[in-house]
Amino acid sequence: MQYRQVGNTGISVSVLGHGTMRYKSRENAAEMIAHGLRLGLTYFDIGSAYSFKAFDDNAETWVGEALRGVPRESVVLSAKAQPRHGETKLDRGLGIDTRDDMWRCIENSLKRVGVEYFDFYQFWDMSADDHFDAACVGDDSPLVAMREAKEQGLVRHLGFTSHAQADQIIRWLEAVPDFRFITVYYNFMDTAPEAAINFAYEHNIGVAIMGPLRGGLLVGESEVFAQALPEFAGLPVQEIALRFLLSTPAISTVLSGMNEIAHMDQNAAVASLENPMTPEQRQRFIEAFREFSKGEPLCTGCRYCAGVCPQGLPVAHMMPLYQLAEVFKVASANAHIKSMAGHQRLDPAKCVACGLCVDKCPQKLPIPERMQRLAELSAELQEAAVE
């Protein structure tokens, strides 16, 4: 296992981090954590709403039980709570917008995990300006409690997780110098956060990556990648995706929500490579994207188009699926595309080519044409399934 420093915090973490969102059960959590420790994993990202059944029956308590007897200094724990104005669910750490509520979240999580401090405590999914306001603005904000917890040694460093646009993330980092760690959604398909990742690196702020395999879509095989990197021919897409991320110096750790031993072993093998992808290979991989797309621009996952479709189509979700199937020839996308035709929310045939999404798109993608192709492909896949 390889290890990296988290910005200038003085904390070192395994480059493969263990996301705790997808456990199947308490027993599965114990099995995965024990195996991860044997493989050298040290970073655990926990959330109070994960697998929540009751206050004392959720992923936080499962992690705490699995870590009993493990020296505290041998693991790095990051907990979180979600800042929002509106309905508060304290037991789950959701809808937090006051100092007192944040204090209760911190204390609840410490109790459930059974530790005296967290290495990192993050605002969870701070992805819009009103989320930032709920988290950080005012004398009674949750940020006040996080700062107090840090002063008391209950939390060592502050941060946030986000799906926001890069310029927003940078603005928040500039506004709150306390933030020394961020967790962002990034992979070779969703590159919109790159400017924020680079900003963090330049300012000695640690970076964790979520969504490295795009929710399990970046898997299987692709002949297209073998053309760009023939030395990687035969490697599964998921390994190439991890190699791409781990070759980025700005990234401290890559989170994976592993609940199968085989998957953990595969990921750990990649995370044990001293040089998963050389700078020259990485640049060649990036440049090859232009060839893959035959000169057409690619969706970067910036989400500027989110919510603008008058038909309610989730354009930001559908364009990456188009790319995976049509550009990168990743077969795992086909099952998702097949289910689109006739779907109430996802049917690409509902597109009326109004162009509102194109107006918002920084890349000016030909979204209506790609929606038409998705509709055709979905119908083709459904017909093939019947035959």
Per-residue pLDDT of 332-379, as tens digits, reads: 888 899 999 899 999 999 999 999 999 989 878 899 999 999 999 999
C-beta atoms surrounding 172 within 10 Å? 22
Q: In the prediction, which pLDDT does 259 show?
A: 92
Q: Where exactly are the structural domains of the chain? A: 3-284, 294-386
Asked whether the beta carbons of 141 and 96 are under 8 A apart, the reply is: no
Given the structure tokens 């209760």, which residue do they identify? 104
How open is the CA angle 254-256-262, to the nearest 5 degrees? 125
Query: For the chain, percent helix, then strand, then coil, each to nearest 5?
Result: 45, 15, 40
Q: In the prediction, which pLDDT does 298 show?
A: 76
DSSP class of residue 286 equals H
d(CA 259, CA 263): 8
Q: In the prediction, which pLDDT does 217 show?
A: 60
d(CA 207, CA 76): 14
Q: In the prediction, which pLDDT does 234 show?
A: 81
Architecture of the CATH domain 3-284: Alpha-Beta Barrel (3.20)
Given the structure tokens 């390889």, which residue do they identify? 2
d(CA 265, CA 271): 10
pLDDT in tens, 100-149: 999 999 999 999 999 999 999 999 999 999 999 999 999 999 999 999 99
Q: Compute CA 232 distance to the chain's CA centroid, rounded to the nearest angstrom.
A: 25
Q: In the prediction, which pLDDT does 238 show?
A: 85
Q: In the prediction, which pLDDT does 296 show?
A: 67
* Sites in the chain below the pLDDT cut of 50: none
